[in-house]
Structures are given as structure tokens and as C-alpha cells.
Amino acid sequence: MKNVDQNTFLDIDLKSLGENYLKIKKKVNRDCIVAATVKSNAYGLGVKKVLPVLTRSKCNHFFVASTDEAVEIRKINKKVEVYILNGLVLDNLNIISKYKLIPVINNLKQLKKIERYQSKFNKKLKIAIHFDTGMSRLGLDKNETANLIKNKSKLIKNSDLVLIMSHLACADDPKNKKNQTQLKEFDKIRIYFPNCLHSISNSGGVLLGRKYNLDMVRPGISLYGGNCQIKESKHYKNVVSLKSKLIQTREINKGDTVGYGATFKARKKMKVGTFAIGYGDGFSRLFSNNCKIYLNNKRINLIGRVSMDLVTVDLTDFKTLKQIANKEFEFIGNKNPINTVCESIDTIPYEILTNLGKRYQRRYIS
């Protein structure tokens, strides 16, 4: 969407994105494939711009959530491998065949469905299988896993099994014993599937050490500069910056209030600035009276409630209009990284990124 007002900007540093991918490659074993998770429109940053950057960095395996997302990837690139994490949820399997997509099979019902389809139409399709080792969300449960291992030759007759995978529930906490428990459980399963790739690690799993690498890792948030572990030191470059220009300034007197609910009351004469950013743009209402923004090195307090389209800040320390007029104030960026911003409202960088709205003027920096 073109922002003709030219007052709110979402800068996406594609060079840093590519460098983050290469940093991950250096963290894993040389023969480990580094796939990329680009679901939810590449975490809100724009998959049409993100995908070419990653393919130029020799990334050839991509994970998305839905079939719609997978088809979009295929239309951008005809050669890469595209895996659908939510599995085989559609009835029209012709789409899987037409676009050469790889469904991640999450139960035996889905496996039987794709096997019947291939038998009926004399097709050979690639599949992945997800085994639940402790997430209790998607994947074959223990009974289905035992059934598949026992009857593998009967249940997989037509499909080309290219990957088996699981998903770590607590990779954000390196000290959590569940990580080791899940890896051991998956190790027991994968010995029965020696002729395909094995994968268990997301972004957090990459930082748990090389024994979690297996044949493939599937980072997501790390590519986009977000932290994936509790108290994580800085591993990756910042990719996203959110900036805005003032649309109005005013002076208020002691006792005046600002915004809905009058939650901020001036204790002295103040200068207030208004920006065209709000919760309609994914800038959370939880930032009300609870956010810092920056102009150069100067920190500025957000005051009052975040409304749908507007936020207000305290500009009292700026003496002249020239200091602030037509300047881009940083809401998220190098001074105010996404990992710091999310902590102030007790959330995670995933949520901040994927909520960033469509009204921002996106500027891709390559």
C-alpha cells in the first residue's frame, strides 16, 4: 500500500537479512541445510522482497504455514522446495501436485489421503512427516508414531518421503530439560527413517548447539533480527526500523490531559507532538504511557493512550520547531531494537513484527 502522506515508514534492511542468514549457516555444521521460515508474509516484512534475498544466499528450502502461502512462494520461485507446516488440510490435492508443494503430514489420516490420491492418479509426490515429541500441537502422536513405524511399508507406498521433523517446545530456554528430552525422543524415531532428512530445530534450536542441527534447521525470527531465547545476547543484525514524522504539535498547560480516558495529566506547561501511528497499524495499545521513542540520541516519552491512528509524545525538551520539523523519529530501530520494545509490554518480537500494519510506507534497503 502506498502511503501518499509520506509520514510513517517501515524500513526493512534486506542486506542485514541476508547477513543474518549467513551467520546462521556459520553456526551450524557444514553439511546442515539452513532452511528459512517465511510464514505470515515473511513475518510481516513482505515475502516477495525477502525470498529473493534468501535464494541469492543459497537458501533452497522454505517453510510456510498454509497452502495459500506455499502457492505464493511457488509463483515467486519455481525451483525451491516449499513445505506446508499446517499439513494436508485441503481436499483438492491437485493444488499440491500442480505447484509441487510438500505437505508436512501431521496425522495418519492425512497420510492415507495423499497415498490414495497418488494411487488413483498415478502420481509421485514429496511429503514430510511431523512427529510430536512434546509440543502437543501438530504431528503424529505416540500411538500413530508406533503404528507408522510398525507398518511403514504398508502406509508409505507411493509418497516420496523427503523429511521427518519435530518441533522444540522450549528452545527459548537453553536450560530447560525438555529440549534434551525431545531430542532423545526424536532420535529414537528417526533411526527408522534413514533415507530422508531429519529436522528438529527452529531459531532457538540453532542456539542450543550442534547436536540439535541434524540434517536441517528451520530458523524464522532470527532471520528478521528478533531474539528467540530468554536473555539472549545479540547474535543477529537488526532488520526492521519503524519511523514517523510529526503531523502536529501543540502546547498544553498544567492540569491539561492528553488522549482518551485522560490517562496523562500535565504537571507543568508542556509541548506535545502527534504522530500518525496507532493500534490500527499494529502499534499496541499496551504502549500507552509506556514507550520510548528516539530522535537522534534523545529519548522521548510517549504520553496518553495509543488510539487507532494516533500517538502523542512529550516534546517539552525541544526548544525550537526547527529541531523537530520534518524529522524522522525512531519508534523501532537501532536505538530502540525490536527486542527491547517487546519487553516493555511483555510480549515477543514475533508478535510485534507480524502485527506491523499495511499503512506504513515500506522502504526496502538493499
Class of residue 354 by CB neighbours under 10 A (exposed 0-12, middle 13-18, buried 19+): middle
| Catalytic annotation present for 260 | yes
Number of H helices, E strands in the chain: 12, 20
- 247 and 342 in contact (C-beta within 8 Å)? no
Specify whether the CB–CB gap between 164 and 198 falls below 8 A: yes
CA distances, 337 to each of 12, 17, 305, 307, 333 (Å): 13, 15, 22, 23, 5
Burial (0-12, 13-18, 19+ Cβ within 10 Å), 249: middle
Reading the block at residue 361, the C-alpha cell is 510506507
188 is known as an active-site residue: no
Compute and round to an integer the Cα radius of gyration of the chain. Answer: 24
Strand duo 81-84 + 240-244: pairing: unpaired
Considering 75, 120, 188, 260, which one is annotated as catalytic? 260
Reading the block at residue 149, the C-alpha cell is 513405524
From CA 124, how far away is CA 126, in angstroms rounded?
A: 7
Q: Indicate the residue type of 356.
A: L
Q: Which residues contact 231 (CB under 8 A, 6 or more apart)?
A: none
Contact between 14 and 366 under an 8 Å Cβ cutoff? The reply is: yes
Neighbouring CB atoms inside 10 A of 68's CB total: 11
Residue from 21, 25, 39, 360 carrying the catalytic annotation = 39
Active site residues: 39, 260
